[in-house]
Amino acid sequence: MEFHLEDVIISLINIVVLFFLLRLILWKHVIRFLAERAKHVQDIIDDAEQQRIDAEALRDEYLDKIDKIDDYKKQMILEGRQKASKESELIMNEAREKANQLLNEAENRIEEEKELALEEIQVDVTQLATEMAARILKREVSPQDNINIVEDFFN
């Protein structure tokens, strides 16, 4: 293979002419394509950044909602405890009132039974006193005598 200077010069001229022609014809299109590509990439980056900001805002909103739910839960537990305390206090008061009522009824019943027992004792004592008086006097005692003896005895 021989080296010819003319061929090299012609090739160089062809390359330079081809370069200028291509630059003249394609340069604007290539620059526009690269600018559009850069703009497209920048739009994707901006969109991703906006989505990240939106996601952080949603996360913050959800965290706030979780905090509010926790506060609401604590409030509901507190209200439940207060309500349970009030209800237990009401139940205890009702139980005390019922116990006091039963105690009063029992005391009244005891008092009535005591009075009945005293009346029975009084009748028994009256009968015994009458019998004793009849034995002592060896005679029949009238009901008025019985009443007088019992009244004297109890007085």
> What would the pLDDT profile of 66-96 be if each residue is shown by its tens digit?
999 999 999 999 999 999 999 999 999 999 9
Q: Which amino acid is at 105?
A: E
Q: How far apart are CA 121 and CA 153, in angstroms?
A: 13
- Please, what sign has the CA dihedral across residues 132, 136, 138, 143? negative
Q: How far apart are CA 67 and CA 76, in angstroms?
A: 14
The segments of the chain whose pLDDT lies below 70 read: 1, 133-141, 155
pLDDT at position 139: 55
pLDDT at position 53: 96
pLDDT at position 83: 93
Question: For residue 140, what are the domain limits?
Answer: 5-154
pLDDT at position 11: 92
Tokens representing 80 are: 């439940």
Per DSSP, the residues of 37-78 read HHHHHHHHHHHHHHHHHHHHHHHHHHHHHHHHHHHHHHHHHH
Counted domains in the chain = 1
pLDDT at position 4: 85
134 and 141 in contact (C-beta within 8 Å)?
yes
Q: How far apart are CA 16 and CA 13, in angstroms?
A: 5
